[in-house]
């Protein structure tokens, strides 16, 4: 039977933006040093969905990205691989082949990413195609226009239909928070996505500014927490876009640790949608272990 | 017809909008300048102080929540009523030793003070309130709110103008008060109670007691439900006792001694401010 | 799931009016905040900080040995070690300080206001320049977390001087129709909870209005005031404008009783405030009192709950709860109480109690042994009164005076822990059903310093705000401070305001123009 839902996700959940920003600022004041820093850097590395989503993507580029995913930095052989490689559906087979023998997942965007401005049947077709090509995870976009119109049922049904098409394949639902305007909308969209079947909720496509921000991420984490406490069901979180520096990544991990706790501090429940973050993490790891500040020339740019 | 016997007035107290006699039923003699008895005034005791405080406390929320405009209208109405009864007050004052001219000035000053503070009721907030430019993402403003119940020890020398100069700023600011009238000359104060009563000032906002200040003042100044006290007695021992009793519950204590109450110096909005609490409110500013 | 569901239905059918609310079937779920990724130590460096072994009074621009030659010790409450010795002020020391201040007053009150302002600007800037040093000393001496001394106390202290410096040559615009004249010599007695910040609240407006001061810091936290004395010297402030006399209650009493002082400004407990007001009886000294509180923090069901949780944390766990305006009485609407308390408990798990100098510490050391014992006594009183105590699983250092964040539920208005100011990280939680009930409970206290109201509904903010009788009302926030914002209490929480334009009043005589 349907899980018991004790609240209506459509009711307004008041959020004070200044309060959220103050909370984020306070969490950002955590000073992560020494062992805890190295641990965080490696953890962040293992959580990356290494992403390339450009019209000019080629098999060569994707192959290069997959090699980086498997072995982020050859000089430091003990490092974890990243969590996944995230590409367009047509690039899925290329990535799948490269990553076959590893634990690195292949994620594919779908549902007419990034705008999603096509009819549902096309979105489902897009999704089925990506899965047929071998995608382990699907990153879909919601219809922001319908959401802002107040057409929540439409958005819900779309997500539910895509989830249906996914079957066991993990579904990440991109809210594109940069277009939702308010944190209250972020909260509402989070609950809507969760109830419609999302395994993960994700901030952004990376094509709209602002992409992921910490206030938005905190609100989404709190939605996940409240849902967990109400139902016992864990949902994953993926901030994406704009996270380029190791310091930012650590700040995000602090948000997760102090909102959801230790259980979410794994690639199974938390991901970074990013690409350039990888090298900054690597540079910081080498710096931590050697004590010497690093230069980008020594880190492969894939 | 000239043999008509004049009807004498019984002076009582003014508590909670009513005119009861003192709880103790005791009186004392009020005399004119030639030592003739002109009236028996109530010699109020601690129980009358107590009853006045109760009345003042229950009247406070309603009075405080009246619109500033309405408080102004009521004070203006009080001035109108006093103007209408001017002759009565002049007579009461001349009976007790004021000459005609001074009695007239005393009464006219009282009327003008009421008009003056009637006009302040909806302005002092704008003069003394502020919007505070804080550095954080908050809207922040401060506005004056009445402190609560004010004890007023009215001046001996100016039984009407002094009295009104004290009551008016206190109630213009939304407080209620308990007034100890001039001991030697309480009659204008009690009659002023009738003016208040006829002017839509809600019962209990102003309570006026006559009697011996050394009998009432210790109970008034020590009362734990009194928020502030405004004293005009210059005697050092009395002042010290008021201060010490003030310390029982951190009363706001103001002494204004040896004032010439008819001077214009004695009407200004800072007297309103003396019995206001500045409240500062913060609220975030964001989406 | 099916059986759970039918159980719940059954419960609903059996329910009678007034019975307990059904709890969530998942109420056993807990978040785990501690088992993975512990933060490493992140100590603030203190090697750049100079603390002398012994400090004298600062009188007439020089450090002066105490007349009686007696010294007291200041301890670090985090490790119970002595940090430094400081002079114990007696009436002779106070007298010299008042004389120096009186001598300086003549000149200081007459120099051009814009020049006076520049001196105060200098002090503001010099605090900013040496801010980290002040922050570290504040944390060592008083036990507060470096995060707060660094981000709140010291920057606000500097901002306070900056704000009032600007008033020095603009006073004719502050008081319509009146000319402001300085009072003379101000005796100022400050508490141990915000040593440098309270110094700034006292000294900045006094100097800006042309007064000179004799200030006594608290006996457990004298060091930043003495560092500030060095800074007055470095700034070239004329001798005697600021005098710092250290010592305990007896020294404070000498200041209050000194006949040549024109004004007393005191921040501290209501009990001591009453003693001071009584001591001042019969004198013409002006006084302002900033006293205790038992702040109500009202959470309505339509509040932004997650931010309200954070607001409650700020309200009661900021500075170990050593805050006169702390929101120590939580009033939460019954319909959201369970959910809210659960959120608060989870949040308490993530508070880090420990070394004040560690940058990650949320709750530092209780300021002194005396205060520590006082808090423990109240925890015991709460238990004896039948309240339900809950403390986080926070680990505490082995040495020093530390207290876990604590909440008491199942309490009522008549309980001592609800009525009395504890001045520690101890919150009482009561529920209410209607706005009137909340207001009634909020005002049912002799205090009236500060309160909080949380609701998303603007009309309710204004209505509740107008009815709650406190000098500061934080709506949808708590424990915010700013030099431009007046602060002070109704009723037994004090008289007068500090901060903002209203903070000038206590330091001037207003004359007719």
For C122-161, the pLDDT digits (tens) are 999 999 999 999 999 999 999 999 999 999 999 999 999 9
Say if CB A300 and CB A66 are below 8 A apart. no
Contact C291 B250 (CB under 8 A): yes
Residue C11 has what pLDDT?
46
Mean pLDDT, residues C209-218: 98
Instruction: For chain B, give every domain's residue range.
Output: 27-284
> What pLDDT, in 10s, does the model give residues C332-342?
999 999 999 99
- Angle made by CA atoms C131, C133, C139, in degrees to the nearest 5: 100
In angstroms, the Cα distances linking C53 to A217, A302, C64 are 49, 59, 15
A residues 167-196 closer than 8 Å to B (CB): 181-183
Buried/exposed A263-294: b ≥16 CB within 10 Å, e otherwise: bbbebebbbbbbbebbbbbbbbbbebeeeeeb
Helical packing angle, B68-84 and B187-197, nearest 10°: 130
What does DSSP say about strands B176-180 and B149-153: parallel, antiparallel, or unpaired? parallel
Rg (CA), chain C: 24
Minimal Cβ distance to C302: which of A14, A232, A258: A14
Rg (CA), chain A: 19
3-state SS assignment for residue A173 = strand
Mean pLDDT, residues C164-193: 97
What does DSSP say about strands B206-209 and B138-146: parallel, antiparallel, or unpaired? unpaired
Residue C8 has what pLDDT?
42
pLDDT at C22 over 90: no
Name beta bridge partners: C513: none
Structure tokens at B145: 């709110």
Q: What is the CATH number of domain B27-284?
A: 3.40.605.10
Q: How far apart are CA A49 and CA A108, in angstroms?
A: 10
Domains and CATH numbers, chain A: 17-298 (3.20.20.70)
Least confident of A1-5, C192-196, C266-270, C343-347: A1-5
Domains and CATH numbers, chain C: 54-291 (3.40.605.10), 293-475 (3.40.309.10)
> What pLDDT, in 10s, does the model give residues C287-300?
999 999 999 999 99
Q: How far apart are CA A221 and CA A47, in angstroms?
A: 16
Q: How far apart are CA C96 and CA C102, in angstroms?
A: 10
Residue B10 has what pLDDT?
87
Residue A4 has what pLDDT?
43
Q: How far apart are CA B42 and CA B28, in angstroms?
A: 6
Nearest Cα to Cα of residue B85 among B108, B55, B115: B108
3-state SS assignment for residue B250 = coil
Where do the DSSP E strands lie in B126-268? Answer: 130-131, 138-146, 149-153, 176-180, 206-209, 228-231, 252-255
Contact C281 B265 (CB under 8 A): no
Say if CB B140 and CB C484 are below 8 A apart. yes
Contact A21 B286 (CB under 8 A): yes
Contact A17 B286 (CB under 8 A): yes
In angstroms, the Cα distances linking C297 to C254, C328, C393, C454, C511 are 38, 7, 24, 8, 40
Residue C34 has what pLDDT?
83
**Phi/psi of residue A44, each to 5°?**
-60, -40
Q: What are the residues of chain B with a beta carbon less than 8 Å away from any beta carbon of chain C?
A: 127, 130, 132-136, 138, 140, 142, 145, 147-148, 227, 236, 239-241, 243-244, 246-250, 252, 265, 268, 270, 277-284
pLDDT at C3 over 90: no
Mean pLDDT, residues C250-263: 98
What does DSSP say about strands C508-512 and C178-182: parallel, antiparallel, or unpaired? antiparallel
C465 touches chain A (CB under 8 A): no
Mean pLDDT, residues C41-55: 94
**Phi/psi of residue B272, each to 5°?**
-65, -45
pLDDT at C1 over 70: no
What does DSSP say about strands C494-495 and C388-391: parallel, antiparallel, or unpaired? unpaired
Would you give per-residue pLDDT tens digits along chain A (302 residues)? 344 444 466 778 999 999 999 999 999 999 999 999 999 999 999 999 999 999 999 999 999 999 999 999 988 888 999 999 999 999 999 999 999 999 999 999 999 999 999 999 999 999 999 999 999 999 999 999 999 999 999 999 999 999 999 999 999 999 999 999 999 999 999 999 999 999 999 999 999 999 999 999 999 999 999 999 989 999 999 999 999 999 999 999 999 999 999 999 999 999 999 999 999 999 999 999 899 999 999 998 87
Minimal Cβ distance to C31: which of A29, A35, A261: A261
Q: How far apart are CA C251 and CA C243, in angstroms?
A: 14
Cβ neighbors of C162 (< 8 A, separation 6 or more) are C121, C124, C483
Would you give per-residue pLDDT tens digits along chain B (287 residues)? 578 988 888 899 999 999 999 999 999 999 888 888 989 999 999 999 999 999 999 999 999 999 999 999 999 999 999 999 999 999 999 988 899 999 999 999 999 999 999 999 999 999 999 999 999 999 999 999 999 999 999 999 999 999 999 999 999 999 999 999 999 999 999 999 999 999 999 999 999 999 999 999 999 999 999 999 999 999 999 999 999 999 999 999 999 998 899 998 889 999 999 999 999 999 999 86
Please, is A245 exposed, middle or buried when counting C-beta atoms within 10 Å of its C-beta (0-12, 13-18, 19+)?
middle
Contact C482 B127 (CB under 8 A): no
Say if CB B25 and CB B219 are below 8 A apart. no
- Angle made by CA atoms B204, B206, B208, in degrees to the nearest 5: 105
Enter the ipTM: 0.95
**In the structure, what pLDDT confidence band is assigned to residue C25 with cuts at 50, 70 and 90?**
low
Nearest Cα to Cα of residue B176 among B16, B13, B4, B6: B16
The fraction of chain C above a pLDDT of 90, given in percent, is 92
Output the average pLDDT for chain C.
95
Interface test with B, best of A14, A15, A17 (most B CBs within 10 A): A17
Nearest Cα to Cα of residue B39 among B243, B184, B137: B184
Say if CB B249 and CB C446 are below 8 A apart. yes
Does C290 qualify as catalytic in the annotation? yes
B285 touches chain A (CB under 8 A): yes
Minimal Cβ distance to C37: which of A12, A13, A39: A39
- Asked if residue C331 has a cis previous peptide bond (ω within 30° of 0), the answer is no
Structure tokens at B57: 């406390």
Contact B250 C494 (CB under 8 A): yes
Mean pLDDT, residues C437-453: 98
Residues of B in contact with C461 (CB under 8 A): 283
């Amino acid at each position: 039977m349907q899980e018991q839902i004790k609240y209506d996700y459509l009711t307004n959940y008041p959020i004070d933006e200044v309060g959220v920003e103050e909370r984020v600022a306070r969490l950002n004041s955590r000073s992560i040093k020494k062992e805890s820093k190295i641990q965080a850097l490696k953890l962040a590395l293992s959580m990356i969905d290494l992403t390339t989503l450009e019209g000019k993507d080629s098999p060569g580029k994707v192959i290069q990205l997959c090699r980086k995913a498997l072995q982020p930095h050859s000089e430091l052989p003990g490092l974890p691989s990243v969590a996944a490689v995230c590409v367009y559906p047509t690039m899925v087979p290329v990535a799948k082949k490269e990553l076959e023998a590893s634990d690195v997942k292949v994620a594919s965007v779908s549902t007419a990413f990034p705008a999603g401005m096509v009819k549902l049947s096309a979105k489902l077709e897009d999704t089925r195609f990506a899965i047929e090509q071998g995608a382990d995870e699907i990153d879909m976009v919601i219809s922001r226009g319908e959401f802002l119109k107040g057409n929540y049922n439409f958005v819900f049904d779309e997500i539910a239909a895509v989830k249906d098409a996914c079957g066991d394949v993990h579904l990440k639902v991109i809210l594109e928070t940069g277009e939702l305007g308010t944190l209250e909308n972020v909260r509402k969209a989070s609950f809507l996505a969760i109830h419609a079947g999302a395994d993960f909720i994700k901030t952004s496509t990376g094509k709209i500014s602002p992409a992921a921000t910490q206030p938005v991420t905190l609100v989404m984490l709190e939605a996940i927490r409240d849902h967990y406490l109400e139902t016992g069901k864990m949902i994953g979180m993926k901030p994406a876009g704009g996270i380029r520096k190791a310091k930012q990544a650590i700040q995000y991990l602090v948000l997760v640790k102090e909102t959801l706790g230790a259980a979410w501090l794994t690639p199974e429940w938390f991901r970074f949608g990013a690409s350039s973050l990888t090298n900054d993490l690597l540079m910081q790891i080498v710096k931590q272990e050697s004590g010497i500040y690093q230069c980008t020339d020594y880190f492969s740019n894939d | 017809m000239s043999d008509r016997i004049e009807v004498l007035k019984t002076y009582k107290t003014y508590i909670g909008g009513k005119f009861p006699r003192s709880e103790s039923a005791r009186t004392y003699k009020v005399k004119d300048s030639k030592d003739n008895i002109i009236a028996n005034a109530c010699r109020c005791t601690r129980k009358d102080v107590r009853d006045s405080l109760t009345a003042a406390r229950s009247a406070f929320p309603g009075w405080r929540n009246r619109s500033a405009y309405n408080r102004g209208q009521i004070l203006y109405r009080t001035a109108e009523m006093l103007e209408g009864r001017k002759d009565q007050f002049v007579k009461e004052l001349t009976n007790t030793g004021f000459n005609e001219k001074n009695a007239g000035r005393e009464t006219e000053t009282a009327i003008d003070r009421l008009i003056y503070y009637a006009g302040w009721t909806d302005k002092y907030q704008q003069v003394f309130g502020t919007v505070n430019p804080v550095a954080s993402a908050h809207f922040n403003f401060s506005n004056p709110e009445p402190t609560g119940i004010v004890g007023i020890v009215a001046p001996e020398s100016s039984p009407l103008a002094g009295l009104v100069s004290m009551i008016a700023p206190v109630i213009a600011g939304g407080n209620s008060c308990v007034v100890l009238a001039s001991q030697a000359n309480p009659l204008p104060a009690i009659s002023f109670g009738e003016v208040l009563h006829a002017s839509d000032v809600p019962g209990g906002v102003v309570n006026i007691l006559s009697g011996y200040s050394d009998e009432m003042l210790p109970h008034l100044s020590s009362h734990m439900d009194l928020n502030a006290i405004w004293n005009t007695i210059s005697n050092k021992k009395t002042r010290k006792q008021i201060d010490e009793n003030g310390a029982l519950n951190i009363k706001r204590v103001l002494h204004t001694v040896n004032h010439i109450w008819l001077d214009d110096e004695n009407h200004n909005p800072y007297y309103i401010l003396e019995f206001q609490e500045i409240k500062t409110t913060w609220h975030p500013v964001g989406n | 799931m099916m059986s759970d569901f039918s159980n719940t239905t059954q419960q609903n059918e059996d329910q009678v009016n007034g019975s307990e609310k059904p709890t969530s079937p998942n109420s056993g779920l807990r978040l785990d905040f501690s088992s993975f990724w512990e933060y490493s130590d992140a100590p603030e460096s203190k090697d750049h900080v100079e603390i002398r072994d012994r400090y004298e009074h600062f009188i007439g621009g020089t450090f002066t040995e105490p007349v009686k030659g007696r010294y007291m010790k200041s301890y670090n409450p985090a490790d119970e070690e002595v940090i430094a010795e400081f002079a114990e002020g007696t009436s002779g020391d106070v007298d010299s300080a008042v004389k120096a201040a009186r001598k300086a007053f003549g000149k200081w009150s007459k120099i051009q206001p814009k020049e006076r302002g520049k001196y105060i600007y200098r002090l503001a800037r010099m605090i900013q320049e040496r801010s980290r040093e002040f922050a570290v000393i504040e944390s060592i001496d008083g036990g507060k977390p470096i995060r707060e001394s660094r981000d709140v106390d010291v920057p606000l202290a500097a901002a306070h001087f900056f704000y009032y410096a600007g008033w020095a040559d603009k006073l004719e615009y502050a008081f319509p129709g009146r000319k402001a004249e300085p009072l003379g010599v101000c005796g100022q007695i400050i508490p141990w909870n915000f040593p440098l910040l309270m110094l700034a609240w006292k000294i900045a407006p006094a100097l800006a209005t042309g007064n000179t001061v004799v200030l006594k810091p608290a006996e457990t936290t004298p060091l930043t005031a003495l560092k500030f004395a060095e800074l007055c010297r470095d700034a070239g402030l004329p001798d005697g404008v600021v005098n710092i006399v250290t010592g305990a209650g007896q020294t404070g009493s000498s200041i209050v009783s000194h006949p040549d002082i024109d004004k007393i400004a005191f921040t501290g407990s209501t009990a001591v405030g009453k003693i001071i007001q009584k001591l001042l009886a019969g004198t013409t000294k002006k006084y302002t009192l900033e006293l205790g509180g038992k702040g109500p923090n009202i959470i309505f069901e339509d509040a932004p709950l997650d931010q309200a949780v954070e607001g409650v944390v700020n309200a009661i766990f900021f500075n170990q709860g050593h805050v006169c305006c702390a929101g120590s009485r939580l009033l939460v609407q019954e319909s959201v109480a369970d959910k809210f308390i659960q959120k608060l408990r989870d949040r308490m798990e993530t508070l880090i109690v420990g070394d004040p100098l560690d940058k990650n510490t949320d709750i530092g050391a209780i300021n002194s042994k005396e205060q520590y014992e006082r808090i423990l006594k109240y925890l015991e009183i709460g238990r004896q009164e039948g309240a339900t105590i809950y403390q986080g699983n926070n680990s505490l250092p082995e040495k020093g005076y530390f207290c876990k964040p604590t909440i008491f539920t199942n309490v009522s208005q008549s309980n001592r822990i609800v009525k009395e100011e504890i001045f520690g990280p101890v919150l009482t939680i009561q529920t209410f059903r209607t706005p009137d009930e909340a207001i009634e409970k909020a005002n049912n206290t002799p205090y009236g310093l500060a309160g909080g109201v949380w609701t998303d509904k603007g009309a309710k903010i204004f209505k509740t705000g107008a009815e709650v009788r406190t000098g500061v009302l934080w709506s949808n926030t708590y424990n915010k401070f700013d030099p431009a914002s007046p602060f002070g209490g109704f009723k037994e929480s004090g008289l007068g305001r500090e901060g903002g334009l209203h903070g000038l009043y206590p330091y001037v005589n207003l004359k007719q123009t």
